[in-house]
Amino acid sequence: LRGKILNVERARFDKMLSSQEIGTLITALGTSIGKDEFNADKLRYHKIIIMTDADVDGAHIRTLLLTFFFRQMPELIERGHLYIAQPPLYKVTRGKSIQYLKDEKALEDYLIGQGLDEATLTLGSGEVRAGPDLREVINDALRLRALLDGLHSRYSRSIVEQAAIAGALNPELTDNRQRAQETADEVARRLDLIAEETERGWSGHVTTEGGLRFERMVRGVKEVAVLDVALIGSADARHIDQMTTRLREIYAVPPKLGRKEGQTEISGPRALLDAIFAAGRKGLSMQRYKGLGEMNAEQLWETTLDPNVRSLLQVKVNDATDADGMFARLMGDEVEPRREFIQDNALSVANLDI
């Protein structure tokens, strides 16, 4: 099919049938269409596979096609005939080795695997983590990064990270000002350790509300960061605080990441991830596919079309009522429900394509 098909959620039935792309689709399927004419038993193919580019236009086309099948041929979904192709998003080349990776998660796992090869992490206690033990440390770092990414943008990620290592996100601190001040002092010391020499001078204070305030002067300008009681009392902070014991074990004294080329001091979980990803990328050539047209015929067959290796996602409707409401809300004529949905879910969006 060429381009975007008609949005059948808004179009009249006769207008839908006059659409050339929809007419081509109906003819190819062989089932006819309409309450009296549609016959799923006449379907010419066992699998109907939606395959679009990995960009915003591709996502829109996929949504329009899903709307068509849900509204006009739901029986094909119920019988398990509808699938979405999962073409790889990345091609990575190292020397003569070529590997296709499905998505960001697969790329991340690949880079971690490469970056951990022959790597060791020496803790302040002298204990050395390597292999599966080091991978567990990486997994904790990934979990912490995800929690930090979910925080409101007014909170400094690096300060919250060091606060987590120091145990400053423990909600019990709000009831013990002396202990809270000691913890704030520790966070300030840790921030000075990771700062450039000319940008040190952090001090920590307990606010009247029970939060923590950190400040420093850099080239005559005061920088202030506050971890308020709204953050310390939040569910995200509780999840982060549950990791404090493990974080202190690894990062209380900055550990050293060892590789063939030498050792690197690590200030925290995010710095560890950065170092591992940088090592994993070394000597690697990487290509991101946005459109299927960027692949040649051989690559398209190897990654997306070959039945022996391709990855497919079967379309299922677990809750027909919920699905009906979602299609009506997002694809229908009414603008207000769609605006409300976007506003309610705006902060949950990742990898926004503008």
- pLDDT by residue (tens digit) across 233-258? 899 999 999 999 999 999 999 999 99
Using the predicted structure, report yes or no on whether residue 353 has a pLDDT greater than 70. no
> In CATH, what number does 104-149+254-288 get?
3.30.300.370
Kindly calculate the radius of gyration of the chain based on its CA atoms and give it in whole angstroms. Answer: 27
CATH class of 153-246: alpha beta
Q: What is the pLDDT of residue 168?
A: 93
**Helix axes of 157-166 and 244-251: crossing angle, nearest 10 degrees:** 90
- pLDDT by residue (tens digit) across 124-181? 999 999 999 999 999 999 999 999 998 888 899 999 999 999 999 998 887 888 999 9
C-alpha–C-alpha distance, residues 80 and 198, integer Å: 63
> Which stretch of 16-20, 84-88, 313-317 has the lowest confidence by average pLDDT?
16-20
C-alpha–C-alpha distance, residues 181 and 17, integer Å: 71
C-alpha–C-alpha distance, residues 80 and 289, integer Å: 28
Using the predicted structure, report yes or no on whether residue 336 has a pLDDT greater than 70. yes
Using the predicted structure, report yes or no on whether residue 338 has a pLDDT greater than 80. no
Q: Where in the chain is the domain with CATH 3.30.300.370?
A: 104-149+254-288
3-class secondary-structure state, position 223: strand
Residue 320 to residues 84, 140, 242, 350, Cα–Cα distance (Å): 19, 38, 39, 27
**What is the pTM for the complete model shown?**
0.75
Q: Where in the chain is the domain with CATH 3.40.50.670?
A: 13-87+289-348
Q: What is the pLDDT of residue 190?
A: 94
Can you tell me the mean pLDDT for 12-39? 90
Mean pLDDT rounded to a whole number for the chain: 89
Using the predicted structure, report yes or no on whether residue 56 has a pLDDT greater than 90. no
- pLDDT by residue (tens digit) across 87-115? 888 999 999 898 999 889 999 999 999 99
Q: What is the pLDDT of residue 347?
A: 59
> In CATH, what number does 13-87+289-348 get?
3.40.50.670
Using the predicted structure, report yes or no on whether residue 26 has a pLDDT greater than 70. yes
> Which stretch of 44-48, 293-297, 344-348 has the lowest confidence by average pLDDT?
344-348
Q: What is the pLDDT of residue 4?
A: 82
